[in-house]
Amino acid sequence: MAGAEPKPVEMLSNEEAKSELERLAHEIKHHDELYHGEDAPEISDAEYDALRRRNLSIEQHFPDLIREDSPSKTVGYKALDKFGKITHAIPMLSLDNAFSDSDVRDFADRVRRFLRLNAEAVLQLTAEPKIDGLSLSLRYENGRLVSAATRGDGVVGEDVTENARTIADIPTVLGGADIPEIAEVRGEVYMTLDAFRTLNERMEAEGKPTYVNPRNTAAGSLRQLDSAMTASRPLKFFAYAWGEMSEVPSDTQMGMVEKFSEWGFQTNPLMRVFDEIDPLIDHYHAIEEERASLGYDIDGVVYKVNDLALQRRLGFVSRSPRWAIAHKFPAEKAWTVLTAIDIQVGRTGALTPVARLKPVTVGGVVVTNATLHNEDYIKGIGNDGEPIRDGKDLRAGDTVQIQRAGDVIPQIVDVDLDKRPADAEEFDFPTICPACGSHAVREINASTGKLDSVRRCTGGLICPAQAVERLKHFVSRNAFDIEGLGTKQVEAFYQDGLIANAADIFTLAERDERSLKKLKDREGWGPQSAQKLFDAIEAKRSVDLNRFIYALGIRHVGEQTAKDLARGYGDIEQFTNAITGLNGEESEAWRELVAIDGIGNTAASALQEFITEEKNKTVYDALLGEITTIAPQAASTDSPVAGKTVVFTGSLERFSRDEAKAMAERLGAKVAGSVSAKTDLVVAGPGAGSKLKKAQDLDIDVIDEDGWFELVGDFQ
């Protein structure tokens, strides 16, 4: 922050130190509340960290003056448990992104291929603005609003019903016709730019902190504990999607949105339906032109397949629908100074350079860090070996242009060499891991034969940075998701030797019982918060198999691969047997593994590498002694293929291979890539070869495509 340089700590008098500690305690508490309670940070992360560092350094010099309410006694922020939780009847998903016109064409081509539409078939798409607010799911029963929930993690959101009732755009009773008994209407809560400015003027006049942007303000206003406060903030709502509907009153996306409007919702006036891509892209550019005069923030245009029957066939991949995409507006850019290049060591040992920036506001957000990817990137060479930034290297002291698009980590796109200080030195990328001192090397990629762009620490399990990152990954949102055990707590617990590996998390409570220095007596903790953490850990002793696999943090085993594995093996015993049996490409276990659709040699080799490392196996076994896993639920249990393993081979004509797979999985089947004794059914199209032969040899049921539709027709 601007102002005089603070006095060196050594030169502070007792009185000065005391009063500065008091000031810092209040200031840091204030920023904590702003950041976490109101979604409105006032200072950059770097400035906040500086305050905490200053506080700590004074405390180190004046230990007698440490205050009861010192910020150093709080182990980071603990989630405000203000609202009740609501589990969404149907998860709230996110959207895949397109960044260029050609990404949009690719999207349409992908959809057409998936559906096997021929060249003449018309594929109708809707286009509407992507509102930059926060999504909300409104549940109506017999036409009356019964609950309102934020998106949360997509599965469980916060119950903000009382606050939603204060928003004029949200009807408490639906009007019009065709109202299903259960209707969940979803859309975006947002604040107009006018309302945002007026609110900030008022805040300023009252000497209160102002908000950063309309989106944060809308989020903060909706999440007020006091509904009267929400009511005083002018929030608005556009309806554009739905969750559970006991009856779907239209067969198109546009028809549904028209219904919403009849029921009393605001819908976006710029929504249109297109039969072709060119006019759709023209509409995107028209909306882009109009963006500044709309009066509310938008960050792109969303396209959706208009026909709901096709939407259903397309289904979902991971967390987003195959039938929609968000075409984002170009990233916002700004110039600032690169103050330093730091190296972070990741979970898999990757040495990742991070740019520390002089704080700069880009698109309403203060940016202090940017990713630098790898050492070639710093030198001005992209991942594909082509020059980037005209091949200009980056040095501390450089003036750089950064770009921020959506939630993506900011990137450096340009450097102004005219402003380079004379003494700026070329960055010397370390070849020794800064965390453990082991050699850091660039391997030759086995499949491409090229030098890997990433330099990795070879310290493996002895590297503390990797250990901490693995733990952070283990407890992260899409893995074990343990409430109250976040990044800061993991770091502190690891440092103090309380948790060295994932299995230790589950023995924490028991060890605490026997310990002389109990968690409740640690700085920043009390009996209640300690108990709450133990309860949260206890609650996760039972976890979905796919989350467990993902939590292991094995290279090349991301969320989707973990799901494929969980579905492929069905339960933890099978999975454990399978991976412990891996012994090179020739082993039976390997062959079975790569027969699972979606799993290739890279993941197989990473799994083998993981489990053959004795220390990993020890932790793995210890974990299994502590937890139980929940087998994946078959999507549909009453279909004739539920629980069966199906192989599709030969060419398919009525649907694409991808759709076949998605349909079979929806109906509860496992789809395998090769035929084995475990295969129950082979669907063979024209041109089927060795797989069909093998099926016949093994006496496995074989049907053709028409046979498939006859079999599952009623269940789709």
Cα–Cα distance, 524 to 530 (Å, whole number):
10
The secondary structure of residue 631, as a DSSP letter, is P
**3 state DSSP class of 254:** helix
* Residue span 360-379 as binding mask against ligand IVH, x where in contact by CB under 6 A, dash where not: --------------------
Candidates 646, 644, 647, 645; CA nearest to 688 is 647
Sheet holding 235-245, edge to edge: 144-150, 134-141, 182-191, 235-245
Q: Which residue among 39, 128, 184, 592 contacts ligand IVH (CB under 6 A)? A: 128
Cα–Cα distance, 410 to 96 (Å, whole number):
18
Return the number of the residue (188 or 398) whose C-beta is nearest ligand IVH: 188
Name the one range near ligand IVH by CB under 6 A: 318-326, 503-511, 522-530, 575-583: 318-326
What is the closest distance, in whole angstroms, from the C-beta atom of residue 192 to ligand IVH in the complex?
15
- What part of residues 148-167 is at the interface with ligand IVH (CB under 6 A)? 151
321 binds ligand IVH per the rule CB under 6 A: yes
Q: Which of 73, 78, 82, 130 is catalytic?
A: 130
Q: Which residue among 40, 131, 145, 533 contacts ligand IVH (CB under 6 A)? A: 131
What is the closest distance, in whole angstroms, from the C-beta atom of residue 544 to ligand IVH in the complex?
21
Among all chains, which residue has been given the structure tokens 């850091």? 440
Cα within 13 Å of Cα(188), Cβ side = 22
What is the closest distance, in whole angstroms, from the C-beta atom of residue 310 to ligand IVH in the complex?
14
Return the number of the residue (81 or 244) whose C-beta is nearest ligand IVH: 244
Return the number of the residue (94 or 399) whose C-beta is nearest ligand IVH: 94
Q: Are strands 97-98 and 182-191 parallel, antiparallel or unpaired?
A: unpaired
302 binds ligand IVH per the rule CB under 6 A: yes
95 binds ligand IVH per the rule CB under 6 A: yes
Name the one range near ligand IVH by CB under 6 A: 321-329, 433-441, 460-468, 705-713: 321-329
* Residue span 228-247 as binding mask against ligand IVH, x where in contact by CB under 6 A, dash where not: ------------xx------
Name the one range near ligand IVH by CB under 6 A: 87-95, 198-206, 454-462, 642-650: 87-95
In degrees, rounded to 5, the angle at the alpha carbon of residue 34 between the alpha carbons of residues 31 and 38 is 165
Cα–Cα distance, 110 to 37 (Å, whole number):
42
> Torsion angle, CA of 306/310/312/315, rounded to 10 degrees?
-100
**3 state DSSP class of 49:** helix
Candidates 491, 490, 479; CA nearest to 548 is 479
Count of C-beta atoms within a 10 Å radius of residue 232: 13
What is the closest distance, in whole angstroms, from the C-beta atom of residue 135 to ligand IVH in the complex?
3
What is the closest distance, in whole angstroms, from the C-beta atom of residue 254 to ligand IVH in the complex?
12
What is the closest distance, in whole angstroms, from the C-beta atom of residue 105 to ligand IVH in the complex?
20
Residue with the closest Cβ to ligand IVH?
A: 135
Cα–Cα distance, 441 to 458 (Å, whole number):
7
The CA distances from residue 346 to 317, 455, 554, 560, 622, in Å, are: 27, 11, 12, 20, 24
Candidates 387, 396, 391; CA nearest to 358 is 396
Q: Which residue among 188, 481, 504, 597 contacts ligand IVH (CB under 6 A)? A: 188
Return the number of the residue (260 or 590) whose C-beta is nearest ligand IVH: 260
466 binds ligand IVH per the rule CB under 6 A: no
Number of residues that bind ligand IVH (CB under 6 A): 15
Return the number of the residue (171 or 321) whose C-beta is nearest ligand IVH: 321
191 binds ligand IVH per the rule CB under 6 A: no
Q: Which residue among 24, 324, 537, 562 contacts ligand IVH (CB under 6 A)? A: 324
What is the closest distance, in whole angstroms, from the C-beta atom of residue 324 to ligand IVH in the complex?
5
Contact assessment for residue 457 and residue 438, using Cβ atoms and an 8 Å cutoff: yes
Name the one range near ligand IVH by CB under 6 A: 257-265, 320-328, 512-520, 540-548: 320-328
Return the number of the residue (133 or 484) whose C-beta is nearest ligand IVH: 133
Q: Which residue among 88, 130, 327, 470 contacts ligand IVH (CB under 6 A)? A: 130
Burial of 356 (0-12, 13-18, 19+ CB in 10 A): middle
- What part of residues 481-510 is at the interface with ligand IVH (CB under 6 A)? none
Contacts of 152 (CB under 8 A, 6+ apart): 85, 92, 158
**3 state DSSP class of 656:** coil
What is the closest distance, in whole angstroms, from the C-beta atom of residue 145 to ligand IVH in the complex?
19
Q: Which two tokens stand for residue 104?
A: 């949009």
What is the closest distance, in whole angstroms, from the C-beta atom of residue 191 to ligand IVH in the complex?
14
What is the closest distance, in whole angstroms, from the C-beta atom of residue 190 to ligand IVH in the complex?
9
What is the closest distance, in whole angstroms, from the C-beta atom of residue 115 to ligand IVH in the complex?
18
The overall longest dimension of the chain from CA atoms, in Å, is 89
The secondary structure of residue 641, as a DSSP letter, is T
Contact assessment for residue 505 and residue 470, using Cβ atoms and an 8 Å cutoff: no
Name the one range near ligand IVH by CB under 6 A: 90-98, 109-117, 213-221, 624-632: 90-98
Cα–Cα distance, 548 to 569 (Å, whole number):
13
Cα–Cα distance, 570 to 631 (Å, whole number):
6
326 binds ligand IVH per the rule CB under 6 A: yes
Candidates 101, 34, 103, 28; CA nearest to 58 is 28
What is the closest distance, in whole angstroms, from the C-beta atom of residue 220 to ligand IVH in the complex?
16
Return the number of the residue (16 or 332) whose C-beta is nearest ligand IVH: 332
210 binds ligand IVH per the rule CB under 6 A: no
Name the one range near ligand IVH by CB under 6 A: 33-41, 129-137, 370-378, 646-654: 129-137
Cα–Cα distance, 503 to 620 (Å, whole number):
8
**3 state DSSP class of 227:** helix
Q: Are strands 399-404 and 411-416 parallel, antiparallel or unpaired?
A: antiparallel
**3 state DSSP class of 320:** strand
296 binds ligand IVH per the rule CB under 6 A: no
Q: Which residue among 65, 93, 245, 337 contacts ligand IVH (CB under 6 A)? A: 93
What is the closest distance, in whole angstroms, from the C-beta atom of residue 316 to ligand IVH in the complex?
8
Count of C-beta atoms within a 10 Å radius of residue 75: 18
Helix pair angle (601-612, 614-626), 10° resolution: 90
Return the number of the residue (131 or 533) whose C-beta is nearest ligand IVH: 131
705 binds ligand IVH per the rule CB under 6 A: no
> Torsion angle, CA of 280/281/285/286, rounded to 10 degrees?
-20
Contact assessment for residue 143 and residue 237, using Cβ atoms and an 8 Å cutoff: no
135 binds ligand IVH per the rule CB under 6 A: yes
User: Does 130 participate in catalysis according to the annotation?
Assistant: yes
438 binds ligand IVH per the rule CB under 6 A: no
Cα–Cα distance, 576 to 620 (Å, whole number):
9
Return the number of the residue (304 or 473) whose C-beta is nearest ligand IVH: 304
Q: Which residue among 94, 266, 344, 656 contacts ligand IVH (CB under 6 A)? A: 94
For residue 362, the cross-strand partners are 365
Cα–Cα distance, 668 to 74 (Å, whole number):
47
Instruction: Name the residues annotated as catalytic.
Output: 130
What is the binding site for ligand IVH (CB under 6 A)? 93-95, 128, 130-131, 135, 151, 188, 240-241, 302, 321, 324, 326
